[in-house]
Chain A
């Protein structure tokens, strides 16, 4: 029972790191980015290449994956995404589905279609006994890293000047730019960091979620659930939603394997009917 909770939390934390970038871009620019998973996959494969082929230590590869994915994100944002922000949702959906298809086929071409695993250092394998509970070392590491990241994100959002600019831009872009905040610049930085976080999540999650070219399609729905259920107006909403989803999914697969993913989708639909703005959304004027 506790093990399930533990695994669920690890899974949920991972989902949060993967999806929080999406939550911010969606909330900030009202931009539906279905290709978010592609950045996560990029991070996963970058780590895979670094660790398995070039022998770079796992812990050194993680920051590289973050920076590299953030750079890719920034590049895409500057060259492609900029043109699509002002377009209707339908165009955004089509555009990002197009990107997903391209990334899936491109990765398939370069890396092959089989599922791949990152070689973990031996110190991360196996289990340790923690307060009478056998937990996987790797999952413990994920929880640790993700918790640190969450705290850091919360601090940046709540305590720094950039954070207050970002929050202002999310709440009302027009007024924010009227006050002299460079909303587009804020967004560009956020998009890059969000993509980087997705890449980091993809690198960390390759072991648990699996890494193959269809990754963006398989987990797209999960990211979107986190974002829509959690709401896009804060970072705590998506965080709680990720934990709920993670625990719900692991527990659902353990207790009622017959229904599988059925539980998650049904809960999502019910939540969205009940509160279309998300479970933890503030009631804003918009």
Chain B
């Protein structure tokens, strides 16, 4: 009995992890943007960074159900680390500095992850928000290091890998961000489709039952929160490296709110939501900011309110016919047959 069961499980996992043609098309489109939209690279860079940030939020919100209002804490931390590394020439090479910044945010995420384990949604909201505010305050007060309210100035970036220097039109920056986004997306995809990712989904559904079947709830939460913090740190570092500037704004509540908004627009819990949402959010923001430079926030707020009132689920269901159509086109897609799925009755 055990043999077909494990076989079924591994087949199910392999099925989950298989690439859908639409996904390949998506990344092909992203690659095409490098060549066909050369004069849009500045905003595309912003989109790619926001997308990475939203991806990191999706890892904790979509896959383990932690609502965070202070995810900018890690974004900002990564950004400041990257800025300081470049400014004082500690690690001059951008890719290496990026990794160091991500690692720093990862460590911060690990340390603070223990704070979000306890309490209800509201407590988590408050603690995450509190952490980002504390970091902002620290960055504000340590002006000898961070430049305080003036921001971190005088950052000059070395060429990437010693070969590709950042140009003023942002072509190199965009390719750089897109590559980082793609690689990290691959990693995230691997993580959520692994047995570990499945266990996260189970504890999002019901922590009590998850722990009853032997999943260490707190351990998993710490792990994914840490990874997510590292992702956010990398996004922040990318922002600093491409803009060669870092200010207190990176810790702001609005930044945490924006990323939450971008992720929600795109849809939570399937990794592409953050990227799609970031594209829509940035385009909308750009359009509105051109229309009403001072009051674009009003329309963003209106979109949020309507989004919630109409219902996120209902919006998702509008696209359902389209998705089933696409699923039929896909060779390996469609729901797995019932037998391959481990059912409780087959348990040992």
Contact mask for chain A residues 215-230; partner B; CB cutoff 8 A; 1 contact, 0 none: 0010011001100100
List CB contacts (< 8 Å) of B277-304 with chain A.
Answer: 294-298, 300-304
Is the CB–CB distance between B115 and A109 below 8 Å?
Answer: no
Nearest CB of A to B337, in Å? 32
Chain A residues with Cβ below 8 Å from B134 are: 262, 265-266, 269
Is the CB–CB distance between B67 and A89 below 8 Å?
Answer: yes
Closest to B123 in A: A276
Interface membership of A104, Cβ < 8 A = yes
Interface membership of A102, Cβ < 8 A = yes
Interface membership of B121, Cβ < 8 A = yes
Is the CB–CB distance between A91 and B131 below 8 Å?
Answer: no
**Residues A94 and B119 in contact in the complex (CB < 8 Å), given A105-B298, A273-B127:** no
Is the CB–CB distance between B141 and A259 below 8 Å?
Answer: yes
Nearest CB of A to B102, in Å? 24
Chain B residues with Cβ below 8 Å from A272 are: 118-119, 123, 126-127, 130
Interface membership of B157, Cβ < 8 A = no
Is the CB–CB distance between B130 and A268 below 8 Å?
Answer: yes
Q: A26, A87, A265: which contacts B130 (Cβ < 8 A)?
A: A265
Nearest CB of A to B145, in Å? 14
Q: B137, B141, B264: which contacts A94 (Cβ < 8 A)?
A: B264
Interface membership of A95, Cβ < 8 A = yes
Interface membership of B129, Cβ < 8 A = yes
Is the CB–CB distance between A102 and B129 below 8 Å?
Answer: no
Is the CB–CB distance between B115 and A269 below 8 Å?
Answer: yes
Chain B residues with Cβ below 8 Å from A269 are: 115, 127, 130-131, 134
Interface membership of B69, Cβ < 8 A = yes
**Residues A98 and B305 in contact in the complex (CB < 8 Å), given A89-B67, A269-B130:** yes
Interface membership of B133, Cβ < 8 A = yes
Is the CB–CB distance between A83 and B309 below 8 Å?
Answer: yes
Nearest CB of B to A107, in Å? 10
Chain A residues with Cβ below 8 Å from B260 are: 93-94, 97
> In the complex, A225→B130 CA distance in Å?
9
List CB contacts (< 8 Å) of A60-105 with chain B.
Answer: 80, 83-84, 87, 89-95, 97-105
Interface membership of B122, Cβ < 8 A = yes
**Residues A101 and B298 in contact in the complex (CB < 8 Å), given A268-B126, A273-B118, A273-B127:** yes
Most A CB within 10 A of own CB, among B61, B127, B130, B138: B130
Is the CB–CB distance between A98 and B122 below 8 Å?
Answer: no
Is the CB–CB distance between B138 and A109 below 8 Å?
Answer: no
Q: B127, B137, B253, B298: which contacts A260 (Cβ < 8 A)?
A: B137
Closest to B310 in A: A83
Is the CB–CB distance between A98 and B303 below 8 Å?
Answer: yes
Is the CB–CB distance between A102 and B305 below 8 Å?
Answer: yes
**Residues A93 and B67 in contact in the complex (CB < 8 Å), given A262-B137, A265-B133, A276-B118:** yes
**Residues A276 and B120 in contact in the complex (CB < 8 Å), given A101-B298, A221-B129, A269-B131:** yes
Binding site secondary structure of chain B: helix
Interface membership of B261, Cβ < 8 A = yes
Q: How many A-B residue pairs have CB under 8 A?
A: 131
Chain A residues with Cβ below 8 Å from B184 are: none
Is the CB–CB distance between B301 and A102 below 8 Å?
Answer: yes
Interface membership of B125, Cβ < 8 A = yes
Nearest CB of B to A94, in Å? 5
Closest to B133 in A: A265
Closest to B304 in A: A98
Is the CB–CB distance between B304 and A101 below 8 Å?
Answer: yes
Contact mask for chain B residues 217-249; partner A; CB cutoff 8 A; 1 contact, 0 none: 000000000000000000000000000000000
Interface membership of B108, Cβ < 8 A = no
Chain A residues with Cβ below 8 Å from B303 are: 98
Nearest CB of B to A38, in Å? 10
Chain B residues with Cβ below 8 Å from A98 are: 300-305, 307-308
Is the CB–CB distance between B295 and A108 below 8 Å?
Answer: yes
Closest to B112 in A: A269
> In the complex, A185→B296 CA distance in Å?
36
List CB contacts (< 8 Å) of B169-185 with chain A.
Answer: none
Chain B residues with Cβ below 8 Å from A260 are: 137, 140-141
Interface membership of B43, Cβ < 8 A = no
Interface membership of B191, Cβ < 8 A = no
**Residues A109 and B298 in contact in the complex (CB < 8 Å), given A94-B264, A98-B304:** yes
Chain B residues with Cβ below 8 Å from A80 are: 305, 309
> In the complex, A108→B305 CA distance in Å?
19
Interface membership of B257, Cβ < 8 A = yes
List CB contacts (< 8 Å) of A251-286 with chain B.
Answer: 258-262, 265-266, 268-269, 272-273, 276-277
| Given A101-B298, A259-B141, A272-B126, 13 extra CB contacts under 8 A | A83-B309, A90-B67, A94-B261, A97-B260, A99-B305, A102-B298, A102-B302, A109-B294, A221-B130, A265-B137, A268-B130, A272-B130, A273-B118
Question: Could you list 15 A-B pairs, sorted by A, with CB under 8 Å?
Answer: A84-B308, A90-B264, A97-B257, A97-B260, A98-B305, A102-B298, A104-B297, A108-B294, A108-B295, A109-B294, A228-B126, A261-B137, A269-B127, A272-B118, A272-B119
| List of 9 A-B pairs having minimum Cβ-Cβ separation, nearest first | A98-B304, A101-B301, A276-B119, A105-B298, A102-B301, A95-B308, A98-B305, A89-B121, A98-B301
Q: Which residues of B contact A (CB under 8 A)?
A: 61, 67, 69, 115, 118-123, 125-127, 129-131, 133-134, 137-138, 140-141, 253-254, 257, 260-261, 264, 268, 294-298, 300-305, 307-309, 311-312
